[in-house]
């Protein structure tokens, strides 16, 4: 997929088709950019790789959800691809069950994350329905236009866009359902005074206190870690990458010193970006 090339446009890649939560997060992030235009992609890999190639100026993808945790596909892509996080958006997620209405619902479609966030509702209300995964919530809504026995889990915006009725509201398993979206680009941004930095650390060898000795470098400099999560390295059982978010910017002296000290103790430290906190 090659988006339209225009020097006058700031092209932002989002998960499509129109009506996704990614689109909503992008509109929030770029509301002050009159030159912004959205480009729709079929999956997160396409978005981030298009940023890497310079086909678009930025991309917005979900990285974690308050109910289901990390979006692991995005975490793996951030490790592999040469892109930089430059911003974030925390978006409240309010799922609806949408469809044509008027008939028995036999099939329910949505993105795997949305289905997981509504697991309890589906078990209680539609235990016999066939559950199918789609590439996005809006893709599910578009498919639900075709047959009355199909319904989709998506937002109200998708229902409005595709002319579907809202059959049930607020069907997520907890009221406080929030997804954190990150904005990625090819080049980083300077300090804003209220920043966050994201890292990936690989230890390479398992020894007592190895992770603690690295985290200690941040603690002794009073740097607050806001998130730490492990992902399998795929090199063997028990071998992990550690994803860390911390307060501050790489240009802050104490953050720079802590990361430099961590590099001395770890096999690999990749800075994913420093950016304004949501």
pLDDT digits (tens, 9 = 90+) for 109-161: 999 999 999 999 999 999 999 999 999 999 999 999 999 999 999 999 999 99
Tell me, yes or no, if the pTM score tops 0.75.
Answer: yes
DSSP letter for 65, please. E
Based on DSSP, count helices (H) and strands (E) in the chain, helices before strands. 9, 15
| CATH number belonging to domain 195-276 | 3.30.70.260
Fold of 96-169: D-Maltodextrin-Binding Protein; domain 2 (3.40.190)
Residue ranges in the chain modelled with pLDDT below 70 = 1-7, 205-206
- Burial label for 244, CB within 10 Å (0-12, 13-18, 19+), is buried
Location of each CATH 3.40.190.10 domain in the chain: 10-93+177-185, 96-169
Amino acid 7: pLDDT: 52
**Is position 179 annotated as part of the catalytic site?**
yes
Amino acid 6: pLDDT: 45
Q: Considering only CA atoms, which of 87, 102, 113, 72 is closest in space to residue 243?
A: 72
SS3 breakdown of the chain: % helix, strand, coil, rounded to 5? 30, 35, 40
SS3 of residue 199 by DSSP: strand
Convert the pLDDT of each residue in 67-82 to its tens digit: 999 999 999 999 999 9
Location of each CATH 3.30.70.260 domain in the chain: 195-276
Tell me how far apart the alpha carbons of residues 135 and 139 are, in angstroms, rounded to a whole number.
6
Amino acid 205: pLDDT: 66
Q: Which of 44, 181, 218, 242 is catalytic?
A: 181
**Is position 181 annotated as part of the catalytic site?**
yes
Q: Which of 20, 137, 179, 197 is catalytic?
A: 179
What torsion, rounded to 10 degrees, do the Cα atoms 119, 157, 133, 227 define?
-60
Please answer whether residues 91 and 181 qualify as being in contact, where contact means their C-beta atoms are separated by less than 8 angstroms. yes
**Architecture per CATH, 10-93+177-185:** 3-Layer(aba) Sandwich (3.40)
Amino acid 46: pLDDT: 97
Tell me how far apart the alpha carbons of residues 235 and 220 are, in angstroms, rounded to a whole number.
32
């Amino acid at each position: 997929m090659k988006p339209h090339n225009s020097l006058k446009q700031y092209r932002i890649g989002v998960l499509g088709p129109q009506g996704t939560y990614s689109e909503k997060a992008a509109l929030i992030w770029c509301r002050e950019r009159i030159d912004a235009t959205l480009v729709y992609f079929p999956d997160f890999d396409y978005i981030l790789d298009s940023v890497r190639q310079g086909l678009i100026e930025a991309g917005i993808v979900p990285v974690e959800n308050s109910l289901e945790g990390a979006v692991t596909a995005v975490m793996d892509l951030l490790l592999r691809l040469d892109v930089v996080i430059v911003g974030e958006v925390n978006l409240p997620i309010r799922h609806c069950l949408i469809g044509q209405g008027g008939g028995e619902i036999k099939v329910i479609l949505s993105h795997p994350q949305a289905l997981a966030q509504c697991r309890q509702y589906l078990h209680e209300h539609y235990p016999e329905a066939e559950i199918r995964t789609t590439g996005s919530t809006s893709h599910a809504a578009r498919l639900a236009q075709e047959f009355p026995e199909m319904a989709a889990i998506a937002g109200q915006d998708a229902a409005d866009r595709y002319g579907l009725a809202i059959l049930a509201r607020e069907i997520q398993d907890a009221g406080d359902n929030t997804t954190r979206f990150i904005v990625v680009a090819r080049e980083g941004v300077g300090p804003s005074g209220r920043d966050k930095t994201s890292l990936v650390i690989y230890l390479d060898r398992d020894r007592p206190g190895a992770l603690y000795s690295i985290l200690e470098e941040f603690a002794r400099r009073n740097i607050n870690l806001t998130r730490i999560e492990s992902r399998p390295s795929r090199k063997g059982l028990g071998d992990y990458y550690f994803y860390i978010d911390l307060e501050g910017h790489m240009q802050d002296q104490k953050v720079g010193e802590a990361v430099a000290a961590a590099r001395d103790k770890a096999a690999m430290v990749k800075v994913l970006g420093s950016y304004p906190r949501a």
